[in-house]
Structure 1
Amino acid sequence: MNTPPADPAAARIGGLTPFSSCDWPGKLCAVVFLAGCPWRCGYCHNPHLLRRQNGETRWPDILHWLQSRTGLLDGVVFSGGEPLQEPALPALLEQTRALGFATGLHTGGAYPQRLRRVLPLLDWVGLDIKTDFGAYPALTGLPRSGEQTETSLHCLLQNNSNFECRSSIHPHWHNEIQLAALARRLAALGVADYHWQQLRPPPSFALPPAPADWPAPQLIEEIAPLFQHFSYREH
């Protein structure tokens, strides 16, 4: 028995950023945040999106607003939370593309089979690589989470998808030896577009920001040649 498609009007929308120039590199986009995530990473900067609950905005309102943005935005990125947890995501992508927008996705890779199904509806994917795949359970609180992300990465590589990998890093959770090993592993797998971005811990951790000289410039110079595109983003 086939499961009926999820109603896009019932999607759990956690929020909307009307304009962003950094969530999809090189594109001016809107960002739709979908609520719900199976993982419980202690440093999550969107803890209000962990539960599948609605915010103040509903999808029909966003769709109506997007109609007025045609020609002004390049695309729409679906983020979270973990947007692949939303059953209505395929319908949201279809309706967005029907308006003429390119579609992007931010994902941690928790649902590789769902990712595979929506790839034909996506123009770009940003895949978060939190740490070495074997160390994921200690971060996410769930077994096999690293295996899920690795499978998602292979899915993107096998389908020649337009994607980047990025790791949010902080010296409290990552040391430079681990970062170098992770970068080399990703390069060996065939990742061409990889970026480190500064992780800003939530106030509950009361941690200072990363030092100005971390990661070391020498490490960045060592890692950069492994990829076609590499950077350390401090925003």
Structure 2
Amino acid sequence: MTYATRPPYPKTNTHKVTLKVGGCAPFSATDYPGKLAAVIFVQGCPWRCGYCHNPHLQERTTDSAIDWDDLMVFLNRRVGLLDAVVFSGGEPTLDPALGSAIQAVRKLGFKIGLHTAGTHPARLQAILPWLDWIGLDIKAEFSQYDAITQRSKSAAAPLRSLQLLLNGEVLFECRSTLHPQLHSPASIQALGQHLHKLGVQRYAVQIFRTQGCEDNFLNETGQALEAYPGAEVLETLQKLFPHFEVRRS
């Protein structure tokens, strides 16, 4: 099976979608390249990155903040107005109901995007046939993962997820959020070289910003952040990838 030829939908769906939704952005022009999208934020993440911008979504609560049926009513009203729906988080692949939710949304005619850190490669592999675009969050060079995620042996899953995408047909980009106290210029260049050797074609670096996170250990000035990680680093990365982007806001 290729991802370009998707399996047919079942004629009936007897399973109620129980995706734990922590929030929804009704309109975004930046979360799916070139498309207008709604973003569904799924509760839960196995990692505890200090610079996380959605720390309120790390825990999985008993009930969803937004009922799935209400969300589907909203999306039905956006048919013809939006191009895509992006599942983000938290970490969406943590939720076992993700596949059912994706299929329900795709039936409305939307393209499907996914923001993931690759924490659950088996579940990612299962939903690949239903995805149109993926943003894969690569935290750092793989030997440095545990220091960022605050979880042991955390690099194996995202590396496996990256290998799945490199061997598949779904359009994807890798992206890394860069933090001045976690990513040195040398480590950033090493990560870029590693991704280049693996065959990554699209890479974006996202410069850490303080809005929305609970990070208490950054004492950098705005001017320092504006210059970080340095022109030489960015020029090196630019040469490594056919598609490269720097995001500062």
Q: Given the two structures, how large is their TM-score scaled by the length of structure 1? A: 0.93
The reply on whether 1:212 has 2:226 as its aligned counterpart is: yes
The partner residue of 1:59 within 61, 68, 82 is 68
Aligned to 1:227: 241
Partner SS for 1:172: coil
Aligned to 1:12: 20
Listed as ranges, the gaps of 5+ residues in structure 1 are: none
Deviations 1:105-134 (A, max 9, x none): 000010011100000010011000001111
1:96 CA displacement:
0.6
Does the Cα contact within 8 Å between 2:134 and 2:173 map onto a contact in 1?
Answer: yes
Aligned to 1:22: 30
Does the Cα contact within 8 Å between 1:6 and 1:88 map onto a contact in 2?
Answer: no
Deviates more, 1:34-43 or 1:133-142: 133-142
Distance 2:152 2:227 in 1: 34
Deviations 1:70-104 (A, max 9, x none): 11111000000000011110011001110000001
Greater RCO, CA 8 A, separation 6+: 2
Partner SS for 1:171: coil
Q: CA RMSD in A?
A: 1.7
Distance 1:12 1:49 in 2: 10
Deviations 1:33-62 (A, max 9, x none): 000111111221111101112453111111
Aligned to 1:116: 125
The reply on whether 1:49 has 2:57 as its aligned counterpart is: yes
Structure 1 outlier segments of 4+, above 6 Å = none
Distance 1:203 1:42, change over 3 A: closer
Distance 2:19 2:80 in 1: 25
Q: Given the two structures, how large is their TM-score scaled by the length of structure 2? A: 0.88
Does the Cα contact within 8 Å between 1:6 and 1:87 map onto a contact in 2?
Answer: no
Distance 1:6 1:34, change over 3 A: farther
Aligned to 2:87: 78
**Residue type of the alignment partner of 1:44:** C
Distance 2:148 2:215 in 1: 16
Does the Cα contact within 8 Å between 2:53 and 2:214 map onto a contact in 1?
Answer: no
Aligned residues: 231
The reply on whether 1:174 has 2:188 as its aligned counterpart is: no
